[in-house]
Amino acid sequence: MSPSLSRQRLLPLLSLLVFVLALLALHHLSAETSLSALRHELAAVAASQLLLAVLAALGSYVLLTAFDRSGLALVGKTMPWRDTARVAFVANAFGQTLGMAALTGGALRWRGYARHGLDAADVAPIVAMTSTGFALGALLWLG
């Protein structure tokens, strides 16, 4: 069996293992919470507050996509907004969730933007731009 063939078989199995471990972790973490308690807590929140939270989250991802667009302009590249938004959303969601956002989000950005012809030298300034923009935004809001 060639190394590339064994890698092709191993990566999906590894992905499945990580998914199963994530499900087990969610099951363990949610064991202390009942569905009725969750419904009760959600009912206590005003619909206007929930709508505001959803709108704030959407606005946040639009602004984070704008950082990627600025980074693309910095390196002299253009892409359709939809494609940039897809890469930016995935990179930001995973990067902020998993931690070390510049590394995890940067790897996802590189993979996403490579499909559009960008190389690592193009993606590095985009990662720097998005990381700096996020950090400055966090400092502005947190004081």
Which tens digit of pLDDT belongs to each residue from 9-25?
A: 787 888 889 889 989 99
Dist CA 52 CA 35 (whole Å): 24
Token reading at 142:
């947190």
Q: Read off the pTM.
A: 0.69
For the CA atoms of the chain, what is the radius of gyration?
19
* pLDDT for residue 68: 94
* pLDDT for residue 2: 61
pLDDT(45) > 60 = yes
Nearest in space to 105 (alpha carbons), one of 114, 92, 119, 121: 92
Q: Residue 102 in contact with residue 115, Cβ under 8 Å?
A: no
Q: What is the DSSP letter of 44?
A: T
Residue 5's pLDDT band, with cuts at 50, 70 and 90, is low
Q: Which amino acid is at 103?
A: L
Q: Which residue has the tokens 């984070």?
A: 64
pLDDT(41) > 70 = yes
* pLDDT for residue 98: 83
Give the Cβ contact number of residue 87 at 10 Å: 25
Residue 8's pLDDT band, with cuts at 50, 70 and 90, is confident
Nearest in space to 72 (alpha carbons), one of 40, 38, 117: 117
- The mean of the pLDDT values for the chain is 89
pLDDT(114) > 80 = yes
